[in-house]
Structure 1
Amino acid sequence: MKIAVDAMGGDNAPQEIIKGVEQARDLYPDIEFLLFGDEKKVNEQIKNNDRIQVIATTEEIEMGEEPVRAIRKKKDSSIVRAANAVKEHDADAFFSAGNTGAVLAAGLFIVGRIKGIDRPGLTSILPVPNPALKQNNFVYLDTGANAESKERNLVQYAYLGKFYAQKVLGVSEPRIGLLNNGEEEDKGDRLHKDVWQSLNATEDLNFVGNIEAGGMLSGQADVIVTDGWTGNAALKATEGTARTMLSLIKHGIMDGGLRAKLGYLLLKPVFGKIAKVMGTSTYGGAVLLGLKSPVVKTHGASKADAVKNTISQIKTMIDSKVIEQTVEYFDTELTTENVDKQPEND
């Protein structure tokens, strides 16, 4: 198993990227890594070259660059070279913490989408922070790959999310929910009403109906599908609320005097558990589902632990053959559609 890594992408590259790669390398003896980036900077950070190959690149795609123009212009960038390694079957997956748009564009235009998938969806694993439930997390897509979506796209996301939940999270019969502005069947705009009808009529999906944004983390579904604009907005609002609450708690402790500080010391292990459950580094990166190979983007500010966990996520994807199952399903669906469309003989 080989993973192509953009060693220059992210706020803490290449130091934290390489540190995380080495941690993952030590955990998984069956993984080799191709590190693409500035040869001198990358080699300076590597402590042990075992199963690590450095491939020199001369260009970098910065965070603020226009994605499509950047991947077309900077052919020798670490993002483009890593994506090409997957396209040419020199690697099984592509990982980056760099420019999100450029990673998505490289995945779409270089790695390529699965036949039958109109628009790949950016997929995240989010927590269900309720210890009373057996469910720990759920699949959420599209989180921002497509600002505009059609009914067919969201139905495809339901299948992509289903396969991912089965193979990567180990959920045998995932519950599929539709993010909407109310739980009732007739809620939402025309798009969401049509998607509701399509998902509800599909026999091989366990559709449980609409889910409001306030209930995303409550464990109502194993997969929540949405269009990219709504999905990204709801995700950012949820993250912002979590940060605000943590800030309020911190200021409450600091301004609460000695009793508040003593209370914090007593509850410090509890806060540590909460931080681990809600931390973005715990669940790995966002996967661009619908492509021919795993393309995974983690947060630009990721540290080594997040990099290691993302590589664990990629390994699970490859071992479980979730991409192969997706290809097989949509190949079968297309064949069936083509047969159905054939004119009947007189």
Structure 2
Amino acid sequence: MDRNLMADILEQVADFLEKGEYRKKVRVGITTLGSEHGTEEIIRGAELAQKLYDDVEVVLIGAKGNSSLHCYEAETLEGCHCLMEELLDKHEIDACVTMHYNFPLGVSTVGRLITPAKGKEILLATTTGTAAADRVEAMVKNAVYGNIVAKALGIKEPTVGILNVDGARQVERVLNQLKERGYPIKFAQSLREDGGVVMRGNDLLAASCDVMVTDTLTGNLLVKILSAFTTGGDYESIGFGYGPGIGEGYDRIIMILSRASGAPVAANAIKFAADLVKGNLKEVARAEFEMLNRIGWKDLLSKKEKAPAAELQEVKMPDPKPVAEEISGIDVLELEDMVKLLWSHGIYAESGMGCTGPVIRVSEEDLEEAMKLLQEAMQ
């Protein structure tokens, strides 16, 4: 019999005799090949996790090094991934931590970070993978994926904020429509004076929300910065890594590290994986997607907003006039189309960029009519 397995059995017997209860350990694998810091760095993270978390059994996949941890040996990272998938599907491990892994379209990862302003945790949705080919659809799904992970971590009503990036206002509208249909999403408020669900960089640093929604490329950049800002960038030392791949019908708990992730992040990623197993991530995700399908979220996502660009290509600009009023809340992806929409109604307008994002500038006398037209166009 395997010595590690025998030790685990004896420990469980001791627990039962001491506490009168059976405590099954969560079994988390970690692939050891492919790190820019070498195999020993990942093994060090695995051993650190095993030392710190007595309810977790850590197993290695790849090279064993000098470790006493159980190892399923493989010679390449691709071999590690094949073995990892086999072990997950056979339920020989409950979750796995790896790097440089390609998820199918529709699956993206929710990172878990410690923010520098107040030392609070925040989930960043998402950090790798692609939830959808369309930007807005992907970010709406990212919000759902972040909600799922937060609930699996025990946050009953996670607060959701949308980072102020291209598409944020469109994402806000779709999420509000989902909420009107019955999806229980709780919006955060920015710590800045003007508030709102659209978050600034200040909100990210201070963790103003439980789940920060963004596009994956921006999320990937942010997780790298917040993980390595104390080390000069080549060694990620803070946080829990890039998180689990989430998507409808996806049934494996696979956690992602960067090849720049150091031992502390590897250890935290193992804890993150164990937390999600104990929080029944798969069941939480299944229930969430069932609810969304009942309220027709796919129909809502498939309805492409009809931007007026094609109809307004030849619109003539009205005679210029002084513009002193600003209308905010317009997405940058729709900005020029909304300006032309106002032109088509005889209202002179200019696009601009304020401190909170894109704005449309109009005269004071046109403000009320312009706001009415824009609100109607964006419904």
Task: Please classify the TM superposition score into its range, dividing by the shorter chain length.
Answer: 0.5 to 0.7
Q: Secondary structure at the match of 1:302?
A: coil
What TM-score, normalized by structure 2, do the two folds share? Answer: 0.59
Query: Is 1:167 matched with 2:152?
Result: yes
Aligned to 1:222: 210
Structure of larger gyration radius: 2
- List structure 1 segments (4+ residues) > 6 angstroms apart after TM superposition: 237-240
What TM-score, normalized by structure 1, do the two folds share? Answer: 0.64
Q: Secondary structure at the match of 2:116?
A: coil
8 Å contact 2:126–2:146 — kept in the other structure?
A: no
Counterparts of 1:30 and 1:126 in 2: how far apart (Å)? 22
8 Å contact 2:223–2:242 — kept in the other structure?
A: no
Q: Secondary structure at the match of 2:129?
A: coil
Q: 2:241 aligns with which of 259, 278, 285?
A: 285
Q: Which structure 2 residues correspond to residues 311-326 of structure 1 after superposition, within 5 A?
A: 311-326=270-285
Q: Which structure 2 residues correspond to residues 225-304 of structure 1 after superposition, within 5 A?
A: 225-235=213-223, 242=229, 280-287=236-243, 288-290=245-247, 291-304=250-263
Structure 1 residue 318, shift from structure 2 partner: 0.7
Counterparts of 1:145 and 1:37 in 2: how far apart (Å)? 23
Counterparts of 1:161 and 1:218 in 2: how far apart (Å)? 18
Aligned to 1:83: 85
Counterparts of 1:315 and 1:238 in 2: how far apart (Å)? 23
Identify, as 1 or 2, the structure richer in helix: 1
The 1:300/1:90 distance shift into structure 2, 3 A limit, reads same
Query: Is 1:36 matched with 2:61?
Result: yes
The 1:224/1:22 distance shift into structure 2, 3 A limit, reads same
Counterparts of 1:307 and 1:144 in 2: how far apart (Å)? 17
Q: Which structure 2 residues correspond to residues 129-208 of structure 1 after superposition, within 5 A?
A: 129-131=116-118, 136-146=120-130, 148-168=133-153, 170-181=154-165, 188=166, 191-203=167-179, 204-208=184-188
Q: Secondary structure at the match of 2:70?
A: strand
8 Å contact 1:148–1:227 — kept in the other structure?
A: no
Gaps of 5+ in 1: 62-73, 109-117, 182-187, 248-278, 341-346
Counterparts of 2:45 and 2:217 in 1: how far apart (Å)? 31
Q: 2:200 aligns with which of 201, 207, 212?
A: 212
Count of aligned residue pairs for this structure pair: 256
Please tell me the residue identity of whatever aligns with 1:34: V
Structure 1 residue 220, shift from structure 2 partner: 2.5
Quote the RMSD (CA, aligned, Å). Answer: 3.1
**Identity, % of aligned positions:** 22
Q: Deviations over 1:198-242 (max 9, x none)?
A: 1123331112421134542133222111222333345556678x4
Larger relative contact order, structure 1 or 2 (CA cutoff 8 Å, min sep 6): 1
8 Å contact 1:94–1:294 — kept in the other structure?
A: yes
